[in-house]
């Protein structure tokens, strides 16, 4: 019989899938391979960091039997933590701003987590801000532990020990460029460090960033793509790793996200479209320079089901001017 003891044992070892049509502008080469993280059991790359942060806290005695995990998160990290907590018998309390959709909150509740909702329209220093509420809960709940993915070294370490080695083995050491979006910076810092070390510095690491975010020289101006870009420099971001940062507009990110579903059969989130847009731009440049043998690996952090009312909804896209009103992108139910 072939089975695992628990669904958590399925985290990692995600496949590489060749991109075929969105890369048409690149021509014969370089090869562009997508590392598809939505096949993780919690549906995103964040399962990797959840598992490692929890196990490190257990070893350090910071998280004990019966303890409670408290984290300000509304998305993928919460799902990963809730899944690992369920396996190990911990409680979870997630704090999220009220702008987070009810669907996302319900996913966390479905895993048995408690969700505390805070007002979005208050400054970070306000007692009701979601940063302050989560700090207060950590103080008030006995046995509480806060993973703090923005400062926890186990976040990049999980990628150094899993994502990086997987990519190296899956490409037989032929990977030449690694492209990924940057949020906490855990993925780029850990995976990038490993790939640089194992290749004696040969692998080039390229960050993809929403236009306006600090990583590409902005001040944190609002953008719509979720999970990437910051308005501050997190401790988990290692400034020595990226060789280049490519800034991508919301419009280009969403356009590619929709094309990935329609043309490649990959229903993925908006930050995936952003990363692929950067990979395609890089591939076109390498092709123009004659570097046809390059092998670009681009990481796709999550699936698209959490974004059906946004990126994949024509009315939402039109309301931000991303689709012309007479768009030919008809959806089910439209009268043609
Ligand atoms: N895309 C999505 C959808 C995410 O949730 C995250 C994590 N915030 C990222 C990309 C970026 O990953 P990292 O935090 O490792 O930089």
3-state helix, strand, coil in the chain (%, to 5): 40, 15, 45
| The pLDDT of residue 327 | 53
Which SS3 state, helix, strand or coil, does residue 116 take?
strand
CA-based nearest residue to 192, from 244, 227, 146: 244
CA-based nearest residue to 141, from 51, 191, 83, 71: 71
* Ligand 1 neighbours (beta carbon < 6 A): 75-76, 181-187, 226-228, 269, 271, 301-302
Burial environment of residue 34 by CB neighbours within 10 A (0 to 12, 13 to 18, 19 or more): buried
Ligand 1 centroid distance, CA of 285 (Å): 25
Arithmetic mean of pLDDT, 142-169 = 98
pLDDT tens, residue by residue, 114-124: 999 998 788 87
Ligand 1 atom closest to Cα of 159? 15
ipTM of the complex: 0.96
Enter the tokens of residue 257. 């996200």
Q: pTM for the complete prediction?
A: 0.94
pLDDT tens, residue by residue, 156-189: 999 999 999 999 999 999 999 999 999 999 999 9
Distance CA(106)–CA(41), nearest Å, equals: 17
Mutate to test the pocket of ligand 1, among 216, 271, 299, 311 (most ligand atoms within 8 A of CB): 271
pLDDT tens, residue by residue, 55-73: 999 999 999 999 999 998 8
Give the strand pairing for 31-36 and 295-300: parallel
Distance CA(219)–CA(231), nearest Å, equals: 6
Ligand 1 atom closest to Cα of 237? 16
With beta carbons less than 8 A apart as the criterion, state whether 26 and 295 touch.
no
């Amino acid at each position: 019989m072939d089975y695992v003891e628990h669904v958590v044992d399925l985290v990692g070892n995600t496949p590489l899938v060749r991109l075929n049509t969105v890369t048409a502008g690149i021509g014969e080469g370089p090869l562009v391979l997508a590392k598809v993280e939505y096949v993780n059991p919690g549906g995103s790359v964040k399962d990797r960091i959840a598992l490692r942060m929890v196990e490190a806290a257990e070893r350090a005695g910071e998280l004990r039997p019966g303890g409670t995990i408290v984290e300000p998160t509304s998305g993928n990290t919460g799902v990963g933590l809730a899944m690992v907590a369920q396996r190990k018998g911990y409680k979870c309390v997630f704090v999220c701003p009220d702008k987070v959709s009810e669907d996302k909150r319900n996913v966390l509740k479905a895993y048995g987590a408690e969700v505390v909702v805070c007002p979005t329209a208050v400054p970070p220093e306000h007692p009701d801000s979601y940063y302050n509420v989560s700090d207060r809960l950590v103080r008030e709940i006995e046995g509480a532990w806060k993973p703090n993915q923005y400062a926890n070294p186990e976040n990049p370490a999980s990628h150094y020990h899993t994502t990086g080695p997987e990519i190296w083995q899956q490409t037989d050491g032929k990977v030449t460029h690694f492209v990924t979006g940057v949020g906490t910076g855990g993925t780029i810092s850990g995976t990038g460090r490993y790939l640089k070390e194992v290749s004696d510095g040969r692998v080039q690491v390229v960050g993809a960033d929403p236009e306006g975010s600090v990583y590409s020289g902005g001040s944190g101006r609002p953008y719509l793509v979720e999970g990437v870009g910051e308005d501050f420099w997190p401790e988990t971001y290692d400034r020595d790793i990226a060789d280049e940062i490519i800034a991508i507009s919301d419009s280009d990110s969403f356009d590619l996200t929709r094309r990935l579903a329609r043309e490649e059969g990959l229903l993925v989130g908006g930050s995936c479209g952003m990363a692929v847009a950067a990979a395609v731009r890089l591939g076109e440049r390498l092709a123009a320079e004659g570097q046809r043998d390059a092998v670009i690996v681009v990481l796709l952090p999550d699936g698209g089901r959490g974004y059906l009312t946004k990126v994949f909804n024509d009315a939402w896209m039109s309301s931000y001017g991303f689709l012309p009103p007479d768009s030919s992108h008809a959806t089910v139910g439209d009268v043609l």
